[in-house]
Amino acid sequence: MGQALLWAAKGMNTTSPNPRVGCVIVKQGRVIGAGHTQPVGQAHAEIQALNDARANGHDVSGATVYVNLEPCSHFGRTPPCVDALIEAKVKRVVVALKDPYPEVAGRGLEKLREAGILVLTDVRPEEAREINIGFLSRFERGLPWVRLKLAASLDGKTALNNGQSQWITSQPARNDGHLWRARACAILTGIGTVQADDPQLTVRAIETPRQPRRIVLDSALEIDPNAKVLDGGGTWIVAAQSNPAKEAALREQGAEIILLPGEDGQVDLKGLMRELAKRHINELHVEAGARLNGALLAQGCVDELLLYLAPSILGEAQPMFALPALSSLAGKHSLHFRDIAQIGDDLRIIARIQHQQP
């Protein structure tokens, strides 16, 4: 199963919105085939592994198949993987997690058992859950997994009061941030960041065959049609107020306008998360300013922080979150540290919101 998880990770940046799945086939104590799910519409991990075994002259009948997610049992863009496993006459299938996708949801395991194949489940489920945390979140909660990325000084400042922020953290930390961008289905920012920094919101520090969707929260549709985040088209602009003329200009740039009015003329953030899940967004990567960061956190829309801390102190400067002062510590947002690592000169901290653990 450990090898299957490593194979699944090979599809980290390519399988979206499908899950990341790896498959390893073992016979007489030897690995005879392995593979991982390909981009949407192409072969799933089990088919890749079966083809790999056969291409190397191996008979897969009587073999054991290890896969980190339940094999599919329905016709989608590809035929059911369980049918291929049954036809191959494998003896045993070992699965890390049941697939919550409604068209599968245990049916794949049931079909294998009905065919006389021994099925074992819940093998290394915690690791399997982490690799597909967004996919599972989308079907279990109806929400994407929201990862909020921050780069700050040791005293928690993200920019000087004049807006200067390039660069608080080191190049290795910035490159690492692009790795996390690449695995996400979409990158979200706010209009304030677009106006201040004119970011591209693309993956550039590493090679990737797929660029995440770009999303801008812009309640009053203030974005400049020449903003870099619109380059190449496909950007989603989420607004709270309609402006037909501005919407037409943005559509000419290839953008899509999503109207989700909430309170006080702002975007309905919780409604946006539900909408993104419906639009097949598994993992949402947020890179925004203190105001949007604070609003997302306050409304329970954040699952974990991806925080890069530089060994520097800025003093009076812009904070990570714009949040109201507390009158009691009972109102604090509690997290737990999932991982702490040194990246270049900086610390990378992954801290998960406790009440939203999967």
**CA 59 and chain centroid, separation:** 37
Catalytic annotation, pick one of 46, 70, 283, 304 = 46
Percent of the chain past pLDDT 90, that is, above it, reads 79
User: Longest C-alpha distance within the chain, in Å?
Assistant: 70
Please say if the pLDDT value at position 76 is more than 70.
Answer: no
Please say if the pLDDT value at position 73 is more than 80.
Answer: no
Percent of the chain past pLDDT 70, that is, above it, reads 97
Res 358: pLDDT? 41
Report how far residue 247's alpha carbon sits from residue 221's, in angstroms, rounded to the nearest whole number: 8
Please say if the pLDDT value at position 145 is more than 50.
Answer: yes
Please say if the pLDDT value at position 357 is more than 60.
Answer: no
Res 356: pLDDT? 45
Which whole number is the average pLDDT over 224-239? 95
* pTM > 0.85: yes
Q: How confident is the model at residue 295 (pLDDT cuts 50, 70, 90)?
A: very high
Phi, psi for residue 289 in degrees, rounded to 5:
-95, 180
Weakest mean pLDDT among 65-74, 157-166, 318-327: 157-166
Which whole number is the average pLDDT over 107-126? 92
Three-state SS letters, 16-73:
CCCCCCEEEEEECCEEEEEEECCCCCCCCHHHHHHHHHHHCCCCCCCCEEEECCCCCC
Three-state SS letters, 322-354:
CCCCCCCHHHCCCEEEEEEEEECCEEEEEEEEH
46 catalytic residue (yes or no): yes
Please choose, from the candidates 57, 44, 124, 125, the residue with its C-alpha nearest in 3D space to the C-alpha of residue 85. 44
For the CA atoms of 45, 49, 51, 53, the dihedral, rounded to the nearest 10 degrees, stands at 180
- Structural contact between residues 284 and 143, judged by C-beta atoms closer than 8 angstroms: no
Which whole number is the average pLDDT over 125-142? 96
Residue 262: which residues within 8 A CB-CB, separation 6 or more?
Answer: 240, 268, 269, 271
**Using one digit for the tens of pLDDT, what is the confidence trace for 12-27?**
999 999 999 999 999 9
